[in-house]
Amino acid sequence: MTATGTTIHAPAPAPAVEAVGLRKRFGKIQAVDGVDLALAPGRIYGLLGPNGSGKTTLIRMLAGLARATGGEARILGTRMPSRPMLARIGYMPQAEALYPELSVGENLGFFASLLGRQDRGAIDAVLDLVELRDRKGTPALELSGGMRRRLSLACTLVHEPEVIFLDEPTVGVDPALRVQFWAHFRRLAASGTTILVASHVMDEADRCDELVFMRDGRVIGRGTGAELRERAGTTELEAAFLVLSGLDAYGNPGGGAPTSGGGQANGGGQASGGAA
């Protein structure tokens, strides 16, 4: 599960996604408050945090949909927002974002032609991938929720992007399909694609190579699942998140740590907060 993209570059590969002191303010609300990130190519990153922690805003800035109010974001070495770079990025929004009256093939064909990939081969290949080829002529309206989710993913992948941002891709997706999605993400990563998945479902986190914990617009911890658990001194990732947030493992503010590693965890939390 460790770095699979090593065959491409012998020395430490240049990061595919980079954020330096990235900030976004909406009026009085500081949605993203100074995020530094460097995501290596060919790896899957999980962006975890509660609702309202700034995950979507961070992804929108990285994907070139929102302009940062401070700091900068780079994709494949190009400073974002950059319009030409958008053709090399895949973005799956939280909403379904499909045209309900259009068929599966028409929806996919539309986004494909905007992304510069019109050939039938690419469309059929991605339809095979999400197992919707036999539904090509069905209007999106008549698909089940899971199928629409698959179509939405297909629209994100049709142009074979090098960097993919997925905002809660498995919300409302049944377990079997979720397994398929992850298997596919893994295949993409193996071919050198960098993937950042935002989620608030902790049980998906272990499928990622590395995790980024976010809270109140800041990165409060980074590392593999095992590293984060160890640093927080907890066995559960959820508890690790709470501890790294400066809370105890039950979500109570600071103070007397109920777990044996509590004091140590608090210290670790502060250290990682400072480093982030």
List residues near other proteins by CB under 8 A: 63-67, 81-84, 86-87, 89, 91, 93-103, 106, 110-111, 113-116, 118, 139, 155
Question: Least CB distance from residue 109 to other proteins, whole Å?
Answer: 8
Question: Least CB distance from residue 83 to other proteins, whole Å?
Answer: 5
Closer CB to other proteins, residue 42 or residue 105? 105
Closer CB to other proteins, residue 11 or residue 84? 84
Closer CB to other proteins, residue 108 or residue 208? 108
Question: Least CB distance from residue 136 to other proteins, whole Å?
Answer: 13
Closer CB to other proteins, residue 132 or residue 228? 132
Closer CB to other proteins, residue 82 or residue 264? 82
Question: Least CB distance from residue 179 to other proteins, whole Å?
Answer: 25
Question: Least CB distance from residue 173 to other proteins, whole Å?
Answer: 17
Q: How far apart are CA 250 and CA 163, in angstroms?
A: 36
Question: Least CB distance from residue 80 to other proteins, whole Å?
Answer: 8
Which residues have CB under 8 Å from 64's CB, separation 6+? Answer: 73, 75, 80, 81, 82, 83, 85, 86, 89
Q: 3-state SS string over 73-132?
A: EEECCEEECCCHHHHHEEEECCCCCCCCCCEHHHHHHHHHHHCCCCCHHHHHHHHHHCCC
Nearest residue to 73 via CA among 13, 14, 15, 22: 22
Closer CB to other proteins, residue 108 or residue 242? 108
Residues in the chain: 276
Q: How far apart are CA 18 and CA 146, in angstroms?
A: 32
Closer CB to other proteins, residue 81 or residue 269? 81
Q: How far apart are CA 246 and CA 252, in angstroms?
A: 9
Give residue for tokens 């809270």: 215
Count Cα atoms within 13 angstroms, Cβ side, for 245: 22
Q: How far apart are CA 251 and CA 241, in angstroms?
A: 9
Q: How far apart are CA 175 and CA 177, in angstroms?
A: 5
Question: Least CB distance from residue 12 to other proteins, whole Å?
Answer: 29
